Amino acid sequence: MPFNGGEKRCVGEDQQSDSDSSRFSESMASLSDYECSRQSFTSDSSSKSSSPASASPPRVVTFDEVMGAARNLENMTLVHEIAVNENFQLKKDALPENSLASRVKRIVHQAYWDVLESELNADPPEYDHAIKLFEEIREILLSFLIPGSGNRLRNQICEVLDTDLIRQQAEHGAVDIQGLANYIISTMGKLCAPVRDDDIRKLKATGNIVELLRQIFHVLDLMNMDMANFLIRSFRPHFQRQLVDYERTKFQEILEETPSALDKTTQWIKESVNEELLSVSETGLTPAAGTSSKPHLSPTLVLNNSYLKLLQWDYQKKEFPETLITDEARLQELTEKLNQLKIIACLSLITNNMLGAITEGLPELADRLKRVSAVLLEGMNKETFNLKEVLNSVGVQTCAEVNKTLVERGLPTLNAEVQANLVGQFSSIEKEDNPIRSLIDKRIQLYLKSLLGLPSPQKCLPPMPGGLAVIQQELEVLGCQYANIVNLNKQVYGPFYANILRKLLFGEEATGKTDASSSAN
């Protein structure tokens, strides 16, 4: 069952004075979009978290602990997906048509139904396999009933599909197989979702009893999937309400069983710390007199910059932070969309600079050129995609569209030199150090950075930087999706990040506990 601008606050404005490590938890408390309380931020569920840099000696991790951590990760990932993905639903696995597994399954199933047919056609008929089928069907039908309700139907199913009674009838040659099948179909019709009504009608029209029983099991399988998806839809609100505590607790269990479960996360944050330190040193700023020689960095700024790196991640070569593994596929998809939007914005900027006098006042032409670019850039993140060739094709197609518009208006077309220049500039975007590409990338990063600094991005978006108007609508949608992922992640893993950042920024050895006392006062 399928799941039926003006000036804004900058990222740095809510930074607290973080020169004193004792105030670190207060600074971290503002990381969440929902301003989670200090108490929840340092809840007991995370109080036992330990840093990879702990002074304790490493312990041996047993196989059972590794498997327990894997099961916790699998459960956490599934619950997270159900809670955040409105389109999540279970689907029946389908084996490849001509695969060995598919052929074996088909042969075994056919052999079973052939045996059943031979038994029912024997003289006298044998009912052993048929009785086992009816017993299994009875249990499946009962499983569809909600506990505590449907007692009348439950009793009826047990009475009609009483296997002891059917066995006695078989011994006297009085079993009405067709009658039992008709009752089963009628009951399925009462219990199934509306989407299965056509399947029920087809069952009623099936004449061969063996084929009928076979199709009954097929439809019951579909109904099982429908029921599972119905329960998923019903429990989604509960999962959403409990998601933060659930994921934090589960990850704590993983960390206890696998002490290295934060290694990649630590490295991810450390890269941002090093980049920020390098940036500070390049500005030539020096610490104030009487203070530590090490410049103080804002934990909020460091963590936000870490999140920004996720939209420039090399998913093929770099390992992903453990604390974001449940959203890796979503972030990769956003990254791929963002890469395409960057190129479209670059193409639009070049076109406007070169042909602005021609395209100005022709919004339909601008829209058409954008659609052409988007279509040709589909799949640009695949390894086989040749960006330079595609950009050349986009340039040629752009010239053709512009010339078509000019002809329609009785104006002279673009000369060969202008067309060659346009195509050449389009092709040059293929290089990552291209000035226009670098400019667009910086402006997109600025927009996303401002978005992470807002208390509620869905209600109040930051102004769109210049040159991004052509992708404004798509970038705003993508930015909100990205901010939702980041803000939820901050809520769940904030205490773990706090321990890591204390060590990286303030040189504190992790004690394995968040500083509940300082953050509660």
Tell me if 485 sits within 8 A of 330, measured CB to CB. yes
Angle, helices 128-143/209-257, rounded to nearest 10 degrees: 50
CA–CA gap between residue 196 and residue 468 (Å, rounded): 48
- Neighbouring CB atoms inside 10 A of 92's CB total 8
Handedness of CA 468, 318, 484, 489 (dihedral sign): negative
Q: In Å, how far are 386, 428, 432 from 438, measured between CA atoms? A: 20, 12, 7
Residue whose C-alpha is closest to residue 294's, from 506, 22, 502: 506
Contact 77, 325 (CB under 8 A): yes
Provide CB contacts within 8 A for 159, sequence distance 6+.
Answer: none
Residue with tokens 């956003």: 334
Task: Specify burial of residue 261 (Cβ count, 10 A radius: 0-12, 13-18, 19+).
Answer: buried
Residue for token pair 């019951």: 220
* The predicted structure's pLDDT at residue 283: 64
Domain ranges of the chain: 60-258, 328-488
Residue identified by tokens 């993140």 is 381
Q: Which of 55, 54, 46 is closest to 28 using CA atoms?
A: 46
**Is the distance from CB of 218 to CB of 175 less than 8 angstroms?**
no
Q: How many Å from the N-terminal Cα to the C-terminal Cα in the chain?
A: 49
* pLDDT for position 472: 94
Sign (positive/negative) of CA torsion 483, 299, 303, 445? positive
Q: Judge contact between 282 and 275, C-beta under 8 A.
A: no
Burial class (CB in 10 A: 0-12, 13-18, 19+), 387: middle
In whole angstroms, give the CA distance from residue 501 to residue 127. 70
Half-sphere exposure of 268 (CA within 13 A, CB side): 25
- The DSSP 8-state label assigned to residue 268 in this structure reads H
Q: What is the largest CA-CA distance in the chain?
A: 104
pLDDT along the chain (521 residues), means of 10: 36 37 38 31 34 39 51 66 71 69 76 84 85 91 77 88 89 86 92 90 89 91 86 75 85 88 93 86 57 69 93 88 91 94 95 83 86 92 89 94 90 91 94 93 94 76 90 93 90 92 78 39 31
CA angle 295/300/303 to nearest 5° reads 95
Q: What's at 7, amino acid-wise? A: E
Residue carrying structure tokens 């490493």: 58
Please state the separation of Cα 135 from the chain's center in Å: 40
Contact by Cβ (8 Å): 135, 170: no
Task: DSSP for 145-207, please give it.
Answer: SPTTS-HHHHHHHHHHT-HHHHHHHHHTT---HHHHHHHHHHHHHHHS-GGGHHHHHHHHT--
Distance of CA 327 to the CA centre of its chain: 5
Angstrom distance (rounded) from CA 402 to CA 431: 25
Cis bond before residue 124 (omega within 30° of 0): yes
pLDDT, position 286: 54
CA 25/CA 9 separation, integer angstroms: 22
Query: In the prediction, which pLDDT does 14 show?
Result: 38
Report the 3 state secondary structure along 383-408: CCCCHHHHHHHHHHHHHHHHHHHHHH
Per-residue confidence (pLDDT) for residue 441, from 0 to 100: 95
Q: Who's near 467: CB < 8 A, 6+ residues apart?
A: 345, 349, 439, 440, 443
Other Cβ atoms closer than 10 A to 21: 17
Q: What is the radius of gyration, based on Cα positions, of the chain?
A: 32
Q: Is 125 helix (H, G, I), strand (E, B) or coil?
A: coil
Q: Count Cβ neighbours within 10 Å for each residue of 461-477 and write b for 16 or more, e otherwise.
A: bbebbebbebbeebbbe
For residue 231, the tally of other CB atoms under 10 A from its CB is 12
CB atoms within 10 A of CB 333: 13
Q: Give the tokens for residue 333.
A: 């998809």
